[in-house]
């Protein structure tokens, strides 16, 4: 498990807090998260909607609208440079050049009024001003070819609406990678695509990652994607990382009740002993970011909630760099949801 | 690593339809809008051809065995009149060179297969050549200065090619009354003169005051004996240029201010929006009259400028709204994630997407500006006196209404009606063409 101990991290996020100052109060959308990504590594951040995954990625890119949003504290070290201190001007030099990003919906991530060629070429010329048009054109064709677009020279003249969703996502990836960035942030890159295309795009990403020693920060709620792609995984809940570690480790031995709940909520063919079974759900939902308390934020939904949970549990190491933030996580081989169900079964009649 | 085969030009796919291709496809189906567009084009050509169609100077003048070309000399002389005339004279040359270029490019590509790239190259080269060729009559040593006699010209040795080039320009521009001198030409000496179709000077005063339409003055004369048709044709230049220049100014300001408000939001937006609201509160027409009343030596450019400087508010609000909407689109986030700066995102990524409603609004604004200019001229606040404008003709018609000078009201009134209507209809058609619900 050398993956779990990255040395010489490419991106190091330390105690990042991104707060939104809204009329309804301060929304602590990201509240003290720490993680790192080494060169060529794939780190997945998983969690439900509203957990702060996307805010995390946008904070790294500093793409959040800064009057409501504010990076309250923390450091984002990229290659030893703290991105938090950089001005917008300097960030423009980082974005696309050092850190690139692809978005959830390729349908809307491409400008409808320009051809594919224009947009890919622009992605290059933004960071290489004064490039002759011919060279930019050639590089664009090359980039489109490298993401597996058939007949790239012809596609250069097409408009986005003429391509399928998968092709558009490939174009987005080509644009993201044309300046050979070191880190690619993929914010739910396959959510808007159908299953077969998803697999192709994931394969392409893995392929490119290997080829270019690209670090990949994968934001997703699809555990299947995580299992396939990521060496390490962080589970986020309500602005905090509740569990992190090697992906294999987390899948085989989830420690936090939330992670266990996510695992249970996966549809798994043939896993049920009683034939067809209702999909397990985690009751309740993520609290609004303005309502985050200083207790364990999963407490209202947690089957194991107890007195102690009024205090925020620290992120503790349970061996092999597998960390979890739960007071109850110590027990070996427990299953929060089964245990809770067993414990509450006799009391069920009394209406607890 | 770029490989050579990557350079193979994209073949004609035929399927590459930009947004504007789609809009044009829809626009074409709207008969009324298409006709309006044609009428606008005709108005433009008439304005560009005004001196060619109606002018008191002859194309060719031969007297006493000497030939001169007063009208061509006038067309290209920078002192020939107002800058508006100068510009439209250039348009006149464009109406000759552009069709010629189109014919030549067509002919050069006839019967042969060309890739889209080569075809595009040829078209742009051809059109560029046409645009440049339109400038040619205007450049070079000007011997049109008053007082330069043929003898003086011969004293300055010229290269033969330059001589040919400035064929027209070697003849001096004078203020001679060619229309009057026409009578004294004698056939026996071999004198002749070729005048424009309407051989009437739009500025030349005659003694035929307030004549009704006749075979000499097709649309009658005004209270200083000037030909109404000639004045109307030249007045079209004012009307068109005021419409487009004033709206151009308003559009530039509107896009800039509205774009900044919509893109940066927050307090910038609040401040700009309040400012726009303040400006909207002024009654525009009276504001314009007030400003113009304070300009000492006003010209038509002051009118354009003032209409433009007061007319940007609606557009700014529209652009602000579009920018607010578009700045939240994913492709804008994607552009920012690629490292594009603010100005680049605003003008390269957002603006082209906001162009459609802006254009519709511009079409209506042009109609509004034409009306405003006519209104100002009618009230005597428009272009200074000798300048022919439609509103000024109507104003004369009002003064002489009891003398029954209906031709001073109806003909220019019809032109104002026609141009305002076609701009509105074209704008309407554009709006419908861009409405996705109208698509089948």
A263-269 own/partner pairs: CB under 8 Å, 24+ apart: A263/A223, A264/A337, A266/A223, A266/A224
B230: nearest Cα among B206, B247, B250, B248:
B206
CA gap A313, B345 in Å, rounded: 44
Select from B6, B330, B353 the Cβ nearest to the Cβ of A103.
B330
pTM, 2 dp: 0.79
Kindly indicate the confidence band of residue A349, based on its pLDDT and cuts at 50, 70 and 90: very low
Burial label, B41 (beta-carbon count in 10 A; 0-12, 13-18, 19+): exposed
Identify the helix (H) or strand (E) that includes residue A317: strand A316-317
Contact predicate B55/B241, CB 8 Å: no
Q: Which residues in chain A have Cβ-Cβ distances shorter than 8 Å to B353?
A: 111-113
Give yes or no for residue A157 having a pLDDT over 60: yes
What would the DSSP string read from start to end of B344-367? HIIIIIIHHHHHHHHHHHHHHHHH
- The string of pLDDT tens digits covering residues B164-219 is 555 555 555 566 777 777 777 777 777 777 888 877 777 777 777 878 888 777 78
Which backbone phi and psi does A219 adopt, to 5 degrees?
A: -100, 120
Q: Which residues in chain B have Cβ-Cβ distances shorter than 8 Å to A103?
A: 330, 333-334, 337
Give yes or no for residue B317 having a pLDDT over 80: yes
CA gap A287, A285 in Å, rounded: 6
Spell B402-422 as b/e; 16+ CB within 10 A means b: eeebebbbebbbebbeebbeb
- pLDDT above 90 covers a percentage of chain B that reads 24
Any chain A CB within 8 A of the CB of B10? yes
What is the model's pLDDT at position A105? Answer: 85
CA gap B76, B134 in Å, rounded: 11
| Residue B278 neighbours by CB under 8 Å, 6+ apart | none
Any chain A CB within 8 A of the CB of B335? yes
Higher local confidence (pLDDT), B365 or B163: B365
Give yes or no for residue A154 having a pLDDT over 70: yes
- The string of pLDDT tens digits covering residues B102-144 is 999 888 888 777 777 788 888 899 999 999 888 877 765 554 4
Read off the pLDDT of each residue in B21-33 and give the average, rounded to a whole number: 86
**Chain B residues 258-297 with a CB less than 8 Å from chain A:** 265-266
Å from B333 to nearest chain A CA?
A: 8
A181: nearest Cα among A74, A100, A294:
A100
CA gap B430, B434 in Å, rounded: 6
Is B329–A159 a contact, with Cβ atoms under 8 angstroms apart?
Answer: no
Topology of domain B228-438, CATH: MetI-like fold (1.10.3720)
Is A89–B341 a contact, with Cβ atoms under 8 angstroms apart?
Answer: yes
Q: What is the distance between the terminal CA atoms of chain A, rounded to a whole angstrom?
A: 44
CA gap A338, A349 in Å, rounded: 18
Q: Which residues in chain B have Cβ-Cβ distances shorter than 8 Å to A126?
A: 338-340, 344
ipTM: 0.81
* Encoded tokens for A192: 């808007």
Nearest CA in chain A to B12: A154
Strands of the B66-68 sheet, one edge to the other: B66-68, B60-63, B192-194
Read off the pLDDT of each residue in A341-347 and give the average, rounded to a whole number: 60
What is the model's pLDDT at position B7? Answer: 39
Is B3–A157 a contact, with Cβ atoms under 8 angstroms apart?
Answer: no
Any chain B CB within 8 A of the CB of A162? yes
Read off the pLDDT of each residue in B325-354 and give the average, rounded to a whole number: 88
CA gap A146, A158 in Å, rounded: 18
- The string of pLDDT tens digits covering residues A50-76 is 788 888 888 888 888 877 888 888 889
Kindly indicate the confidence band of residue B365, based on its pLDDT and cuts at 50, 70 and 90: very high
Q: Which residues in chain A have Cβ-Cβ distances shorter than 8 Å to B330?
A: 103-105, 108-109
Select from A67, A95, A104 the Cβ nearest to the Cβ of B266.
A67
- The string of pLDDT tens digits covering residues A68-97 is 888 888 889 888 888 888 888 888 888 888
Give yes or no for residue A345 having a pLDDT over 60: no
Cα separations (Å) of B339 from A61, A304, B28? 10, 46, 39
CA gap B364, B422 in Å, rounded: 10
Any chain B CB within 8 A of the CB of A131? no
Å from A84 to nearest chain B CA?
A: 16
Supply the angle between the helices A133-146 and A116-125 in degrees, to the nearest 10. 110
Is A141–B6 a contact, with Cβ atoms under 8 angstroms apart?
Answer: yes
CA dihedral B250, B251, B254, B260 (to 10 degrees): -140
Spell B103-127 as b/e; 16+ CB within 10 A means b: eebeeeeeeeeeeeeeeeebeeebe
Give yes or no for residue A1 having a pLDDT over 50: no
Any chain B CB within 8 A of the CB of A101? yes
Residue with tokens 């109307």: B232
CA gap A246, A55 in Å, rounded: 23
Any chain B CB within 8 A of the CB of A183? no
CA gap A119, A105 in Å, rounded: 16
Cα separations (Å) of A107 from A162, B201, B386? 11, 61, 59
Is A138–B11 a contact, with Cβ atoms under 8 angstroms apart?
Answer: no
Kindly indicate the confidence band of residue B151, based on its pLDDT and cuts at 50, 70 and 90: low
- The string of pLDDT tens digits covering residues B371-407 is 998 998 888 888 887 888 898 888 888 888 888 888 8
Kindly indicate the confidence band of residue A6, based on its pLDDT and cuts at 50, 70 and 90: very low
Is B15–A135 a contact, with Cβ atoms under 8 angstroms apart?
Answer: no
Q: What is the count of residue pairs from A and B with beta carbons less than 8 Å apart?
A: 111
Domain extent listing, chain B = 57-194, 228-438
């Amino acid at each position: 498990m050398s993956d779990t101990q990255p040395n010489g991290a490419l991106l190091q996020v330390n105690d990042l807090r991104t707060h939104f100052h809204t009329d309804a109060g301060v929304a602590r959308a990201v509240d003290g998260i720490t993680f790192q990504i080494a060169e060529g590594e794939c780190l997945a951040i998983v969690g439900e909607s509203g957990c702060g995954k996307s805010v995390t990625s946008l904070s790294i890119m500093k793409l959040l609208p800064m009057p409501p949003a504010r990076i309250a504290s923390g450091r984002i070290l990229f290659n030893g440079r703290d991105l938090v201190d950089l001005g917008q001007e300097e960030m423009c030099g980082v974005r696309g050049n050092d850190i690139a990003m692809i978005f959830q919906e390729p349908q809307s991530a491409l400008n409808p009024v320009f051809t594919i060629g224009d947009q890919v070429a622009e992605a290059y010329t933004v960071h290489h001003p004064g490039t002759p048009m011919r060279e930019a054109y050639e590089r664009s064709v090359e980039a489109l070819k490298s993401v597996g677009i058939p007949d790239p020279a012809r596609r250069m003249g097409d408009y986005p609406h003429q391509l399928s969703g998968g092709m558009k996502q490939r174009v987005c990836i080509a644009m993201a990678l044309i300046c050979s960035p070191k880190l690619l942030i993929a914010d739910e890159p396959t959510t808007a695509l159908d299953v077969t295309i998803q697999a192709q795009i994931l394969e392409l990403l893995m392929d490119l990652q290997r080829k270019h020693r690209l670090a990949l920060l994968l934001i997703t709620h699809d555990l299947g994607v995580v299992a396939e792609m990521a060496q390490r995984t962080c589970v986020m809940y309500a602005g905090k990382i509740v569990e992190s570690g090697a992906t294999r480790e987390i899948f085989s031995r989830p420690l936090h009740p939330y992670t266990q709940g996510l695992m249970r909520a996966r549809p798994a063919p043939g896993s049920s002993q009683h034939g067809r079974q209702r999909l397990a759900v985690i009751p309740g939902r993520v609290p609004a970011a303005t309502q985050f308390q200083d207790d364990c934020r999963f407490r209202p939904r947690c089957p194991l909630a107890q007195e102690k949970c009024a205090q925020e549990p620290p992120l503790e190491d349970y061996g092999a760099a597998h960390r979890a933030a739960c007071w109850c996580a110590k027990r070996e081989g427990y299953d929060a949801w089964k245990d809770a169900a067993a414990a509450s079964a006799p009391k069920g009649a009394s209406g607890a | 690593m770029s490989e050579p085969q990557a350079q193979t030009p994209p073949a004609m796919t035929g399927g590459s339809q930009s947004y504007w291709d789609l809009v044009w496809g829809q626009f074409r189906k709207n008969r009324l809008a298409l006709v309006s567009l044609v009428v606008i084009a005709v108005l433009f050509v008439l304005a560009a051809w005004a001196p060619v169609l109606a002018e008191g100077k002859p194309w060719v003048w031969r007297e006493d065995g000497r030939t001169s070309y007063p009208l061509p000399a006038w067309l290209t002389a920078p002192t020939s009149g107002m800058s508006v005339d100068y510009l439209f004279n250039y348009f006149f040359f464009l109406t000759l060179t552009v069709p010629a270029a189109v014919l030549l490019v067509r002919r050069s590509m006839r019967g042969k297969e060309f890739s889209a790239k080569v075809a595009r190259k040829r078209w742009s080269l051809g059109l560029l050549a046409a645009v440049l060729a339109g400038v040619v009559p205007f450049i070079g040593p000007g011997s049109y200065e008053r007082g330069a006699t043929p003898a003086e010209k011969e004293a300055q040795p010229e290269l033969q090619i330059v001589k040919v080039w400035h064929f027209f320009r070697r003849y001096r521009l004078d203020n001679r009354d060619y229309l009057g001198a026409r009578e004294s030409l004698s056939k026996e000496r071999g004198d002749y003169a070729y005048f424009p179709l309407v051989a009437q000077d739009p500025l030349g005063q005659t003694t035929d005051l307030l004549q009704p339409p006749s075979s000499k003055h097709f649309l009658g004369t005004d209270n200083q004996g000037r030909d109404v048709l000639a004045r109307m044709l030249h007045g079209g230049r004012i009307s068109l240029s005021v419409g487009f220049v004033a709206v151009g100014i308003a559009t530039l300001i509107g896009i800039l201010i509205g774009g900044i408000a919509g893109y940066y939001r927050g307090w910038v937006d609040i401040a700009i929006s309040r400012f726009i609201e303040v400006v909207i509160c002024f009654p525009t027409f009276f504001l314009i009259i007030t400003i113009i009343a304070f300009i000492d030596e006003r010209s038509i450019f002051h009118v354009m400028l003032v209409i433009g400087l007061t007319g940007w508010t609606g557009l700014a609000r529209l652009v602000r709204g579009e920018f607010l909407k578009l700045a939240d689109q994913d492709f804008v986030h994607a552009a920012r994630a690629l490292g594009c700066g603010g100005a680049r995102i605003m003008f390269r990524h957002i603006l082209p997407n906001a162009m459609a409603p802006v254009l519709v609004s511009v079409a209506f604004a042009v109609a509004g500006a034409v009306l405003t200019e006519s209104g100002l001229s009618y009230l005597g606040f428009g272009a200074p006196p000798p300048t022919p404008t439609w509103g000024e003709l109507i104003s004369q018609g009002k003064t002489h209404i009891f003398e029954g000078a209906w031709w001073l009201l109806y003909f220019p009134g019809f032109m104002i009606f026609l141009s305002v209507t076609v701009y509105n209809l074209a704008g309407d058609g554009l709006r419908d063409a861009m409405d996705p619900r109208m698509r089948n």
